[in-house]
Structures are given as structure tokens and as C-alpha cells.
Chain A
Amino acid sequence: MMTEKELIIIGGGPAGLCAANSAAESGVKVLILERSPRLGGQLIKQTHKFFGSEKTYAKTRGFDIAKLLIDDVLNLSDNIEILCDATVVGLYPNHEITVYQKGIYQKYKAKSIIVATGASEKFLAFENNDLPGIYGAGAVQTLMNLYGVIPGQSIVMVGSGNIGLIVSYQLIQAGVKVKALVEAAPKIGGYLVHASKLRRLGVPIYTSTTIKRAIGKESVEQVETISLNEKWEMVPGTEQIIDVDAICISVGLSPLHQLLSMANVEMKYVNELGGMVPIVTEEHETSYKNLFVAGDVIGIEEASSAIIEGYLVGLIASKRLGKSHPNYETLIQAYHDQLTNLRSGPFGAKTRIGLAKLRGENHA
């Protein structure tokens, strides 16, 4: 049996929730499909306060932002239907999808679809990388911040992007000894304000250094690190052994492109955006007509950008369905300005270069 819907949003994280909000306010009937048991995406495990402007919930903690976004959607329940534990397993021509939810396999058809599937964590190849005690940063956040369980007593963090830095600090707050943070690049990846906090607490940060192997019988007992030269090659003789019972890997994210790729959406691999991303128009529409994208699935950025993109794309998809938001023009302009603002400055450079590559533009 095929159930027909006006707009289906795949993913109930920040981008999906905000897109649903905009669409419902425009008068569109929305179905949100979320594969996990609850809405909110990665925000629900983020206990730190956000940076940025008031409009993107600066100074509010991640899980509180999730609560606000979820409440907004629940308040629009006349227009928004939500299915959790519902994984979209197939995306086909004519806006047809298949969904697997708690043992039941169903087909849906929509007039328009917004894909907001987010991203998955990257992992590393090193010796004994399957030993118990090795976690991704997402798993550590889930364990500690959602369930109140610490991953170990002492840990080494691999990767100095903002997630690596923030999770290291949260580990310390939870009473875990962070023995060191290693970063393969010659420079710290995330904001120096986060890195400085760790340094003040006495955590050594080793740049141009990577993990060589994990050591242990049944689970992690030690980690061996090694320095890298300017060609990213390991330098023999620089090995260092650190006693830990856990290792956290935080080396970036890849967009969850699988649904788009299986529907033969035109894609491009853009390293700066995290991997395979869809080629989109200015309106965030893919080569598959009336299939839009928002959030990390079109390039890894912070949740603030996903929120704004969600609001923006929800408006655009609704207008295409013949239902314009009363303040359409003003809001579109405001969201574009906010995105430009978020992507300005040195930390937005990667996204700016990535987006230029995606559009096929030349850049220095």
C-alpha cells in the first residue's frame, strides 16, 4: 500500500526540524521520518553552549536547542506528522520511498522531498583498531551526555577539531583523565578558545602526531603515538606510549549520501565538504526535481548552519508546492545573510572553498 504525502522530510535533526517548521508555517502538510527513537539529531547529546548570533541560539546548550526546535514542531502538529524509529531504506524515481519501521516495510509517495540525513563519523586504520575501548566521539557523547556513563578512566583523544576539543573538555568534567590530544595536522583544527581551556587544565596537545597502534589483550591498555613529517609520513623513533583504558577518535564526518546516490542524483566528491555531496542549485534543489537537501548531507558544518539551511529549504520547497510563507522574501533574504555570516571568517574558509568547488567555480 502506498501512502501519499505532500512533503516528506528525511531526518529529524536540526535541519529536518527547521525545514518542517518553515513548511508547516507555509501551510504544507509534512511527514518527518526519523530513524532513531527520538528527534533532535546530534543536538540531543551536546551539552556545550553554542557560539554565534542570537538567531542561531548562541549561549544555549545543544540539548536545549533541540528541545526548542522539537517544541516548535510539536506546536505545529496540525500540519506535521512525525514517525520515529522509521528508517528510509530506499529512494526511487517519482518521489517514492520505502520505510522500515519496527518490523514493518511501507511505501510512501510525496509531491516533494527534503533530504536531511546528516553525516556519519569517519574512522581510522591503525593496529588493533578493533580493541574494546576505542570509541568515536559521537559514541562518547551518547554514552556520557545521554546515558551518564563514562567510556573509561583515562583516555587519549585523536583529532583536534571542535568536536575533539569539546568532547575532551566534557570528559574532564565527567572525571575522566584526558592524557593527551593528538592531531595529525601541524595546527589545531578547532577554535583556540576550546584548545586553551584544555591547555589550562594541563592536557598536552601534540600536533603533527597520530595514533600508531592500540595495545592491550582484552581491551585497550595503552596507546602508541608517533610524529608525522611534513609529508604526513610517520617518523621512526618518535613513538610515545601512554597508559589509557580508552581511545576516542574524532577525525571528522562524511555526509550520509547513500539515499541520494541510489536515486542517481548528480553527485560530486568534495574533500572540503567531507565527501560525496549532491550538486545543487541556489535553491538547494538537486538534479532530481523537487528533491531538496539541507544540513550536513550537503557538506559538514556546524549545527547552526544546518538550522538556517533547514528553515531556508523548508520555505523554498513549500513555495514550489504553491504555498508561499507570508514573509517569504524577507525570510529568504535573512537566512541567506545568516548563512553568509556563519561562513565568513577563517573557520568558514573550508566550506567556502568546498561550495565553490561544488559549483565548479575557479578559486585560488
Chain B
Amino acid sequence: MIPELGHFALIAALVVAILQAAVPALGVVRRDRRLMAVAGSAAQTQFALIFAAYLCLSYAFVTRDWSVAYVAANSHSDLPLVYRATAVWGAHEGSMLLWMLMLSGWSAAVSVFNRRLPPDLVATALAVLGALSIGFLLFILLTSNPFDLNFPVPEDGRDLNPLLQDPGFVIHPPMLYMGYVGFSVAFAFAIAALISGRLDAAWARWTRPWTTTAWLFLTCGITLGSWWAYNELGWGGWWFWDPVENASFMPWLVGTALIHSLAVTEKRDQMKAWTVLLAILAFALSLLGTFLVRSGVLVSVHAFATDPARGVFILTFLAIVLGIAFTLYAWRAPKFVSQADFALFSREGLLLLNNVFLVVAATAVLLGTLYPLVIDALNAGKVSVGPPYFNAVFIPLTAPLAVLVGFASAVGWKRAKAREVWKRMRAPAAIAVVLGLALPWLLGHPTKLVAIAGGMLALWVIVTALQEIVRRVRARRDRLQGLTQIPRAVWGMTIAHLGLGVWVLGISFVSLYSVEKDVRLGPGQAATLSGYDFLFQGTEPRRGPNYDADHGTVEVRRDGRTVATLTPEKRLYHATGQLMTESSVDHNALRDLYVALGEPIDKNNAAGDWALRVYYKPMMRLVWWGGFIMAFGGLVAASDRRYRLAKLREAATSGAEAAA
């Protein structure tokens, strides 16, 4: 009964989505406020229906309803409750439902917080979001229905992929999708601006907090994904340049560019056509990522060809959405193109450069991701494009960004004087160079040129960000007042840039100074790595809720003192018979110690010798802290009072109008 209700809710949501797309559009054409007003209630109703469908599916998972094919394929009676509740997004159909939940959630949010823009603009944007909903709901109902039933009903489920039975999986996908899909709001408003022909500073100011919010969720999602892969895959890696990762990283890069160009559009009323293009591109890449991940094309171009229903649907949808968006852009955008009203050495100029590097970096990732697919599709053989390619291309394209970031607040709008900027920047530059040179030595690492360069860039970003705060505090006689007067927008920017610096520092050091070793150890034997002794104490059998494990104990000592006790496991999941490596990590700000159990050397070996992989990874944490700090910066910036003030004022005005 419950699954049927869920299915019905999806169909009802499709009907509402059609209304949401059609009625407000008609209202805009006829200039009929009442028809336009349908958009808001339709968006909220749609969200309620999708949420109901989502609850129905969750209920089926929690109550182990094996009559639902999707539940039976992705759960098991022994699966712990937290994973049963989140197994909803453990595979394709449920992931699409989560996608829809996010899309309708964002639409409903737009309909609630919409007081600042003219009603026809809001109505158009909600109609665009409704049209997107139609496409995705049709996709779910026609090709990927999570409520399809099983007959005969199996006795038990086939279990959730053990790789996904990890805390990282509980929060990573919702965060990622929230960000991914959130760019649909910027997209919808870009389309609305193109249709209405109104694109001014007010539009940019309105779009900014939405874009920043989507971006901060995407940042969190990517960071959590990296953390999950590190813990769960057992290779000690944290970024693989896997196409699935790239699919979320491309919208992030373009979204970051969009945040910066929106600043120019809001503050200086410039680069408007470009900003609109970026808003379209960011969402286009989200859609492309969905196609890549969901069509099966990544597994093999040929697997895609044998079961093309899903892939062809998304590809067609992608072509329609982007075809319309780019046609509209080509037709209407020339109206917004203005000549630059700024010198090259100005904040606008540097932000323009920032956009160039970010967009080119996204292009490189796109090229590397699609190249093997295209070569294969052309039957020109098979090539692999992996980390060596991406590192070789991506790093030179993004290193200049770190240099640019340092100038973020020192260079003023419109035109800046090089002499004044130099006066202000020479101290941070000197600190970055000197400290950067000394840093590997201070931390006890051998001197490597690339690490020094990375350290210098990171310190440059960090020191200039701190300098901006210090400068603002000192600008007032009352220091405390100086501190509290800093607008949240500035705090947000500064924190995000600090996060970038921390991130660059982490990446530089963990990439260059990680040490790993494959060792064979029997109980009581030790391996030495970077001054740490890893003393293996053997394994013991242990029983988990739905798996049996060999539970290992490794004592880590330094200079005879125990610094950590690590407990890596090798798990055999009952339902699927899959073996999983559960790594164990001890971490602090300066280093991670990571142990993964490989294989027992010989099942019949009474001594209990195991193959182990041990890692020493300096500054690993900084990579994820950097990501979270950046996201936090986004949160602070999105909560700036000028966004809220405007809303209050608008409410007051409309109240006054009503009274009059």
C-alpha cells in the first residue's frame, strides 16, 4: 500500500510540475498576476508530494518491504537501521528521487523567499524550475521507478553495497546533490533575466546568496566524498580524478567562477552577459555530470549502447534544456554586453582573470573526462586519462589563481595604483617567501622545490587574508568596533580564502611527503615508517551486525612511546559475500597514520602473518579542513545582512502599499 502511495505521489507531482511550468508562463504572457501567483503554490505542493514519495520509499526500506524491487536490491534484513534509512540513495533509482527532492526543495525555497524581485521574474524562474521537474519526473517514472514491485517477493534483500556502509555515505550524497541541484536556481534566474530582458545589480544581488548557498553545499559534498573514499577504499588516496568525482568537480569550478563574476555584476554592473553564461554553464555541467554518472556510459560506452533507455533519455533532455538555454542566450545576451569600464589592474580585471583560469581548468577536466569516451565511441582504440594527466594539466592552470587570491582585497574597484598595492603586499609576500622556504625544514621534511612553491602560495593566500582583517580592525580607533563592523560578506570572503590557503598547504605536503609501505607482519613483528614503529599484535575474529571481521590491532610507537592503537579490519559481508577493507587512522593537524589490512599470507598459516599497508601522510587533515573552512566562508557570506535587510525593507514597503 505504502509503495503505491509513493508511486501515486510521483505521478501527482508530475501533474503539479506541468501546472507549475505552464500556468505562470501564461500569466507572464498575459500579464496576469493571479496566474503568475500559481507558481509559488505549485512549487510548494510539488515539494510536499516529492517529500511524501521520499518518505514512502524510506518507510519501505526501514520496514524491509522486499516487495519493492529497489528495496530488495539494495537492503537486507541484517542491515543496521541508519543504513536502511539512507540506502534510499544507495543506487540509481533512489538517487534520482533524491535529485528530485532537492530540485523541488530549492523551488519551494525560491517561492518562499521571493519578495525582492518583480513577480514576473519570479514566475518565469519558477516555471523554468517546473519544466526541469517535468523532465526529471518523466525520467524517474518511465525509466527508473523506485516503486516498481517484485513478484514473487524474495525472502530477503540482496544488501546495500558494503562500500556504502560507512558514515560518510549517510551525509555525502545529500550534501553533494543539494549543491549540484542548487545551481538550478541560478540557471532559472539567468533564463528569467534573458526572457524578461532585465538584468541589473538588483538581479545579481538576489542571485548571489542562492548561488553561494548551492556552492557551499557542493563544497561540503565534495570534501565529504574525498574523506569517505580515503577511509573506505583502503588505498590511502583522497582524490582519484575518477570521472564520477570530476562530474561534481566541474560544476564546482564553474560555480566558483560564477560567485566571483556575480560580485562584479552586483557591485559594478559589469560582465553581465558573462555572468548569465556562467550560470547556464554551471547547471549544464551539473546535468552533464548526471548524464555521465547515471547513464552507465562511464562503465563502458558499449554497456551504454546495449541498454540505452536511460542514457538516451538524459542525453535528449540535456540537449533540449541546453539547446533552448543557449539559443535564448545567443538571441538575448548581446543586449547586455557592455564595454569594460575598468582598467586591467583593478578588482574587476583580476576577477576576470580568476574567471578565465577557473573556466579553463574546468575545460581541462571536461576534456580529460570525455576524451576516452569520445575516442572509444569513434572506435579509435581505448585510452586511459588518469591522475598523471590531470595533475600535469590542472596544477599549472590553477596555481595562478592562488597568486591572484592574495590581491583580493588590496586591489580596488575600477582602477588601482600599482605602487600602493605593492606597498601593502610586500610584507605578506616577504613572509610567504621566507616562511615557505623554511616550512619543509621546520616540519622535518627533506627540501623539495614543488613543496616550497606550494607552501609559499598557501602562505601568501593565508597571510593576505589575515592582513585584510587586521587592516580593517586597525582602521578604527576603537579596535573592537573595528572588528564588529566588518560586514559578513567580507568575513565570508576572507574565511573562504583562508580555507583555500589551508587546502593548498595540505595538498602540497600530503602529495609530496606521503610515505607508504607494503609489509608482511606476524603477531609481535613491527615495521618502521618515517620514525614510527607499527607493531602488529595479530588479529582476532569479531562479529558485526551483518559481517564477520578479522579485527587487527596495530600499536604505533615513536621513540618507544605508544602514540596510537589502530584497529584495521577485514570484513566479510554475509549477504553479498564481499570482502571489505576497513582502514584505521590516527590523525592530528600535522600527520595521519593509516593502516589497512591486506590479505592473510596463508589461511593455514598458524602464525597469523598478514599483508598490511601502512601510510604516513603529513597534513592530510588540512585538505578537508580547508574544504570545510571554504564552505563555512560561503555560509557567512550568504548570511550577510544586506540580503536580509533588503528583504525586510521590501516587506515593509509592500505592507505600506497594502495599507494605502
- Is the pairing of A and B real? no
